Chains A and B, each alone.
Chain A
Amino acid sequence: MTIFLLRRLGQSLVALFGVMTLVFFIQRLTGDPTYLLVPETATQADIEAMRHALGLDRALVVQYVDFLWDTLRFDFGKSFIQNVPVTTIIASRLPYTLQLAGGALLVAIAIGLPVGLLLALARKQRWTNILMGVVLAAQSMPTFWSGILMILLFGVGLGWLPPSGSGSFAHLIMPSIALGLLSMATYARITRSSVLDELSKDYIRSAKARGVKTGRLVTRHLLRNSAIPVISITALEISQLLAGAVIVETVFAWPGLGLLTVQSVVSRDFVVVQGVVLLGALVTIMMNFLADILYSFVDPRIRLDGVSG
Chain B
Amino acid sequence: MTFSTFIKAAALATVVFLPANAALAKDDLVVNLVNEPATLDPHMQWNPDSYYVYRNIFDNLVTRDDAGEIVPQVAESWKQLSDTELELDIREGITFHDGEALTADDVVYSVKRITDPEFSSPQLGQFNSIIDAKKIDEDTVVLTTKSPYPALLAQLVKLSIVPEHVASELGKEGFNEAPVGSGPYKFAGWDRGVQVKLTRNDAYWGEQGAFKTVTFKSVPDASTRVANLRAGTADLVVSLDSDLAMQLEGSTEAQVLSAPTERVGFMGMNTLVAPLDDPEIRRAAAMAIDREGIVEGILRGGETVASQMATSAHFGFVDSAEPIPFDLEKAREIVAAKGDAAKVPMKFATSPVYDQRIVQAIQQMLNEAGFNVEISMTDMATYLKAAQNPDQMARPQLSFGRWSCACQDVDGVQYPLLHSSSNWSRVNDPELDALLETGRTTLDKEARLAAYAKVQKIVADNTYIMPLYQAAALYGASNGLEWQPTANESLFLNRMSWKD
**A residues in contact (CB < 8 Å) with B:** 30-33, 35-44, 46-47, 49-50, 52-53, 78, 81-84, 88-89, 92-93, 96, 145, 148-149, 151-153, 155-159, 162-167, 250-253, 255, 259-260, 263, 266, 268
Q: Mark B405-416 against chain A: 1 for CB-CB distance below 8 A, else 0.
A: 100000010001
**B228 adjacent to A163 (CB under 8 Å):** yes
**A165 adjacent to B233 (CB under 8 Å):** yes
**Which 5 residue pairs of A and B lie closest in terms of their CB atoms, listed nearest first?**
A157-B17, A31-B381, A255-B193, A35-B384, A53-B120
Assembled-state Cα–Cα distance A84/B390 (Å): 32
**B194 adjacent to A167 (CB under 8 Å):** yes
With beta carbons under 8 angstroms apart, the residue of B39, B120, B223, B416 that contacts A148 is B223
Residues of A within 8 A of B219 (CB): 164-165, 253
Q: Do A253 and B44 contact each other (CB < 8 Å), given the known contacts A39-B122, A260-B193? A: no
With beta carbons under 8 angstroms apart, the residue of A38, A52, A78, A163 that contacts B231 is A163
Assembled-state Cα–Cα distance A158/B16 (Å): 10
Instruction: For A78, give the chain B residue with the smallest CB separation.
Output: B173
**B380 adjacent to A164 (CB under 8 Å):** no
**A259 adjacent to B220 (CB under 8 Å):** yes
Instruction: For A37, give the chain B residue with the smallest CB separation.
Output: B122
With beta carbons under 8 angstroms apart, the residue of A44, A88, A253, A266 that contacts B217 is A253
**B128 adjacent to A83 (CB under 8 Å):** no
B10 within 8 A of A: yes
B126 within 8 A of A: yes
**A163 adjacent to B227 (CB under 8 Å):** yes
B430 within 8 A of A: no
Instruction: For B155, give the chain A residue with the smallest CB separation.
Output: A41
Q: Do A252 and B39 contact each other (CB < 8 Å), given the known contacts A38-B125, A39-B46? A: no
Instruction: For B381, give the chain A residue with the smallest CB separation.
Output: A31
Q: Do A252 and B38 contact each other (CB < 8 Å), given the known contacts A44-B423, A165-B217? A: no
**B193 adjacent to A35 (CB under 8 Å):** no
B385 within 8 A of A: yes
**B19 adjacent to A159 (CB under 8 Å):** yes
Question: B residues 210-235 with Cβ under 8 Å of A?
Answer: 217-221, 223-224, 227-228, 230-231, 233
**A148 adjacent to B14 (CB under 8 Å):** no
B176 within 8 A of A: yes
Residues of A within 8 A of B44 (CB): 83
B388 within 8 A of A: yes
11 A-B contact pairs sorted by A residue (CB < 8 Å) = A38-B125, A39-B46, A40-B405, A44-B388, A49-B117, A145-B7, A148-B223, A153-B14, A156-B227, A252-B224, A259-B220
- Smallest CB separation, B424 vs chain A (Å): 7
Q: Mark B163-192 against chain A: 1 for CB-CB distance below 8 A, else 0.
A: 000000000110011000000000000011
B312 within 8 A of A: no
B18 within 8 A of A: yes
- Smallest CB separation, B221 vs chain A (Å): 5
Instruction: For A167, give the chain B residue with the smallest CB separation.
Output: B194
Residues of B within 8 A of A156 (CB): 14, 17-18, 227, 230-231
Residues of B within 8 A of A42 (CB): 124-125, 423
Instruction: For A251, give the chain B residue with the smallest CB separation.
Output: B221
**A39 adjacent to B220 (CB under 8 Å):** no
Of the candidates A157, A159, A260, A268, the one having the most CB atoms from chain B within 10 angstroms of its own CB is A157
- Smallest CB separation, B220 vs chain A (Å): 5
Assembled-state Cα–Cα distance A163/B218 (Å): 14
B67 within 8 A of A: no
Residues of B within 8 A of A151 (CB): 223-224, 227
Question: B residues 387-406 with Cβ under 8 Å of A?
Answer: 388, 390, 403, 405
Assembled-state Cα–Cα distance A134/B407 (Å): 57
With beta carbons under 8 angstroms apart, the residue of B124, B172, B224, B385 that contacts A83 is B172
Q: Do A153 and B17 contact each other (CB < 8 Å), given the known contacts A33-B381, A53-B120, A251-B224? A: yes
B364 within 8 A of A: no
**A92 adjacent to B193 (CB under 8 Å):** yes
Q: Do A46 and B388 contact each other (CB < 8 Å), given the known contacts A41-B416, A84-B176, A167-B194? A: no
Residues of B within 8 A of A35 (CB): 380-381, 384-385, 388
Residues of A within 8 A of B7 (CB): 145
Residues of B within 8 A of A157 (CB): 14-18
- Smallest CB separation, A107 vs chain B (Å): 20
- Smallest CB separation, B196 vs chain A (Å): 12
**B11 adjacent to A152 (CB under 8 Å):** yes
Assembled-state Cα–Cα distance A251/B225 (Å): 9
**B14 adjacent to A50 (CB under 8 Å):** no
Q: Do A47 and B388 contact each other (CB < 8 Å), given the known contacts A36-B381, A38-B122, A92-B192? A: yes
**B227 adjacent to A39 (CB under 8 Å):** no
With beta carbons under 8 angstroms apart, the residue of B18, B124, B379 that contacts A46 is B124
B35 within 8 A of A: yes
With beta carbons under 8 angstroms apart, the residue of A41, A47, A252 that contacts B412 is A41
Q: Mark B124-160 against chain A: 1 for CB-CB distance below 8 A, else 0.
A: 1110100000000000000000000000000000000
Question: B residues 441-487 with Cβ under 8 Å of A?
Answer: none
B382 within 8 A of A: yes
- Smallest CB separation, B47 vs chain A (Å): 9
**B14 adjacent to A149 (CB under 8 Å):** yes
Assembled-state Cα–Cα distance A164/B18 (Å): 17
B123 within 8 A of A: yes
**B125 adjacent to A39 (CB under 8 Å):** yes
With beta carbons under 8 angstroms apart, the residue of B123, B172, B173 that contacts A39 is B123
- Smallest CB separation, A92 vs chain B (Å): 4
**B176 adjacent to A164 (CB under 8 Å):** no
- Smallest CB separation, A255 vs chain B (Å): 3
- Smallest CB separation, B170 vs chain A (Å): 12
Assembled-state Cα–Cα distance A266/B352 (Å): 10
Residues of B within 8 A of A40 (CB): 403, 405, 416, 424
**B39 adjacent to A46 (CB under 8 Å):** no
**A83 adjacent to B381 (CB under 8 Å):** no
Instruction: For A145, give the chain B residue with the smallest CB separation.
Output: B7
**A83 adjacent to B176 (CB under 8 Å):** yes
**B193 adjacent to A164 (CB under 8 Å):** no
Residues of A within 8 A of B11 (CB): 148-149, 152
**A162 adjacent to B233 (CB under 8 Å):** yes
Residues of A within 8 A of B220 (CB): 250, 253, 259
Of the candidates A30, A152, A153, the one having the most CB atoms from chain B within 10 angstroms of its own CB is A152
Residues of A within 8 A of B18 (CB): 156-157
Residues of A within 8 A of B192 (CB): 88-89, 92-93, 255
Residues of B within 8 A of A89 (CB): 192-193
Residues of B within 8 A of A164 (CB): 219, 224, 227-228, 233
Assembled-state Cα–Cα distance A32/B45 (Å): 18
**A148 adjacent to B224 (CB under 8 Å):** yes
**A163 adjacent to B17 (CB under 8 Å):** no
Of the candidates A49, A78, A145, the one having the most CB atoms from chain B within 10 angstroms of its own CB is A49
- Smallest CB separation, A93 vs chain B (Å): 5
